[in-house]
Amino acid sequence: MRSSTTSCHVWRENTQWSITHGSIPVLSPVTVKHIVREWLKEDTPSFDYGGFVVGEKEETAVLLMKSPGVLAGRPFVDAIFRNLNVGSSGQQARGPGSIKQAVKDAKVVGGFSTKIEVECRSLEEATEASEAGCDVVMLDNFSPEAVSEVASTLKKQFPSLLIEVSGGITEENLSSYCDRNVDVLSLSKLTQGYATVDFSFKISKDGRDPRNLTVKL
């Protein structure tokens, strides 16, 4: 991929990736492969509960660039997909049949001591997850007004449910997300300390916009 503000190029040669500036390779394919394996080992150091829950059905997914920036890491994306046996051209991924079934499967493999959290994009999804018995519902990329209404509705039905809010929260608007029915606020800026490109990997579904648009009332 190429930015209009840089002369660096990324291309494929002899079925292996290399990042180059001019004609001198910066990272060899062997190094890229090693780095990817270390990332994956850190991400799932033990049994992959999520991988078990999502099932075996192949789905088409999209990798979304949610914020402005220069993407210079395409070789790493392809290396990750290859390591996971996922096609990066069609971007095949696996997805669960329903939230209810996903929570059920997670309980089977995780046992009673594993806390289950479900990322939701609507009140309907959050209600389904709560009725299925999840421990935490994460409202992803909701406006402050939508958070207040959805969290209030959920707490009335499920008083012991933990509600987390994430996505679009900054130091400037943090106070507007502080609601009596919200238990957890999470924002990556606390640990990043600098501007980063925000990504989202979404399973494609007919009739659904894969973009992570803000949920509003």
Q: Residue 125: its pLDDT value, please?
A: 93
State the pLDDT at residue 1.
Answer: 35
Tell me phi and psi for residue 10, to 5 degrees: -125, 125
Q: Which fold has domain 111-186?
A: TIM Barrel (3.20.20)
Q: Average pLDDT, stretch 151-167?
A: 96
Stretch 197-215: mean pLDDT: 74
Average pLDDT, the chain: 76
- State which fold the 9-94 domain adopts: Aldehyde Oxidoreductase; domain 3 (3.90.1170)
Position 208 confidence tier, pLDDT thresholds 50, 70, 90: confident
Q: What residue spans define the domains of the chain?
A: 9-94, 111-186
pLDDT of 201 strictly over 80: no
Q: Rounded to whole angstroms, what are the CA distances from 157 to 41, 118, 189, 191?
A: 39, 17, 32, 34
**Cβ 177 vs Cβ 50: under 8 Å:** no
Instruction: Determine which of 5-9, 114-118, 139-143, 209-213 has the lowest per-residue pLDDT on average.
Output: 5-9
Is 152's pLDDT higher than 90? yes
Half-sphere exposure of 27 (CA within 13 A, CB side): 19
Q: What is the pLDDT of residues 65-122, one digit of tens each?
A: 766 666 666 777 788 778 877 754 433 333 445 888 888 888 888 888 889 999 999 9
pLDDT single digits (tens) 125-145: 999 999 999 999 999 999 999
Sign of the torsion angle spanned by Cα atoms 67, 63, 36, 32: negative
Task: Find residue 184's DSSP bridge partners.
Answer: 164
Indicate the length of the chain as a whole number: 217
pLDDT exceeds cutoff 80 at 59: no
**pLDDT the model gives residue 28:** 78
pLDDT at 70: 62
- Band of residue 14 on the pLDDT scale cut at 50, 70, 90: very low
Contact 203, 213 (CB under 8 A): no
Q: Select from 67, 70, 76, 69 the least CA-distant residue to 26.
A: 76
The span from the CA of 161 to the CA of 134, in Å, is 8
Please compute Rg for the chain using Cα positions.
20
Place of tokens 């059905």: 57
Gap between the Cα atoms of 17 and 5, Å rounded? 22
